[in-house]
């Protein structure tokens, strides 16, 4: 049996995070719960693809991705975006950025080396709060969803944060949120914050994941 080897443990605002490897596969866990794995990343691929494909016709779209993970969402976004696109990636845990640069960047084709990418080591909520009608899309994949593992991320899904996201987007901009479960309550909150909402269900290796595709309504 191939052993699962813990490569590193770090303390984060979400709890203890571990990076582990089994053969050629990597996974990241928080408090013992798997957040992401190279064995099952179809929904992360879809998140980047379906959010950014509609932006391919724009000359220089601005995109913000919250949560770097194993780099799959970023890679999928880059694969469909134009050469003049600008992609900011906000990652709260500096070690995740380091791991992408040194340990498993090859999994997603080293997306951090793309000149379109700027890495922000910090809270995506703070980045969103500072923006005004700037982003064509915001992609959020920072936890297991609106009722996720870390209480640190709770505020990202509440009314004030959703209002900030709407302000940060251009009219018609997309706000895409990944989750490992469905939440009708969150759908209602998005609608109340000035979005039209479509919920997509993604099947991947026996699991069901969810992506909210929320489009910003025109400003009054």
Per residue in 119-144, pLDDT (tens digit) is 999 999 999 999 999 999 999 998 77
Please report, rounded to a whole number, the percentage of residues in the chain having pLDDT higher than 70: 96
Distance CA(220)–CA(216), nearest Å, equals 11
Comparing 31 with 163, which gets the higher pLDDT? Answer: 163
Alpha carbon distances (Å) from 124 to 1, 13, 50, 75, 186: 40, 13, 21, 19, 19
Whole-prediction pTM: 0.94
What CATH topology corresponds to 40-216?
Answer: Rossmann fold (3.40.50)
For the segment 198-203, the average pLDDT, to the nearest whole number, is: 92
SS3 of the chain: helix, strand, coil, percent, to 5: 35, 35, 30
| pLDDT at residue number 150 | 47
Neighbour-count burial for 11-29, b at 16+ CB within 10 Å, e otherwise: ebebeebbbbbeeeebbbb
Distance CA(17)–CA(206), nearest Å, equals 24
Please report, rounded to a whole number, the percentage of residues in the chain having pLDDT higher than 90: 76
DSSP bridge pairs for 140: 66, 177
| pLDDT at residue number 14 | 79
Report, in angstroms and rounded to the nearest whole number, the Rg of the chain calculated over CA atoms.
16
Angle between helix 42-52 and helix 72-80 axes, rounded to 10 deg? 30
Is the torsion defined by CA of 14, 16, 22, 26 positive or negative? positive
Closest CA to 186 of 149, 212, 208: 212
DSSP bridge pairs for 164: none
| pLDDT at residue number 34 | 86
**33: burial class by Cβ within 10 Å (0-12, 13-18, 19+)?**
exposed
Tokens of 2: 């191939």
Whether 12 and 91 have beta carbons less than 8 Å apart is answered as no
Which pLDDT tens digit goes with each residue over 73-119? 999 999 999 999 999 999 999 999 999 999 999 999 999 999 999 99
Alpha carbon distances (Å) from 22 to 7, 63, 97, 150, 180: 10, 33, 20, 25, 23
């Amino acid at each position: 049996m191939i052993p699962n080897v813990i490569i590193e443990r770090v303390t984060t605002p979400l709890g203890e995070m571990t990076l582990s490897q089994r053969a050629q596969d990597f996974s990241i866990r928080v408090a013992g719960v798997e957040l992401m794995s190279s064995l099952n990343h179809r929904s992360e691929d879809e998140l980047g693809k379906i959010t950014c494909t509609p932006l391919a016709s724009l000359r220089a779209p601005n995109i913000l991705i919250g949560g770097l993970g194993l780099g799959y969402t970023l890679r999928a976004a880059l694969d469909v975006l134009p050469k003049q696109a600008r992609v900011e990636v906000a990652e709260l845990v500096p070690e995740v950025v380091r791991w992408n640069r040194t340990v498993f960047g090859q999994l997603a084709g080293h997306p951090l080396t793309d000149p379109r990418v700027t890495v922000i080591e910090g809270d995506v909520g703070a980045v969103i709060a500072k923006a005004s009608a700037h982003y064509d899309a915001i992609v959020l994949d920072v936890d297991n969803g609106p009722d996720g593992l870390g209480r640190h991320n709770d505020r990202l899904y509440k009314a004030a944060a959703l209002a900030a996201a709407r302000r940060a987007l251009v009219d018609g901009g997309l706000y895409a949120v990944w989750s490992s479960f469905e939440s009708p309550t969150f759908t209602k909150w998005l609608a109340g914050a000035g979005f039209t909402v479509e919920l997509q269900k993604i099947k991947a290796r026996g699991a069901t994941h969810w992506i909210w595709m929320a489009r910003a309504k025109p400003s009054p």
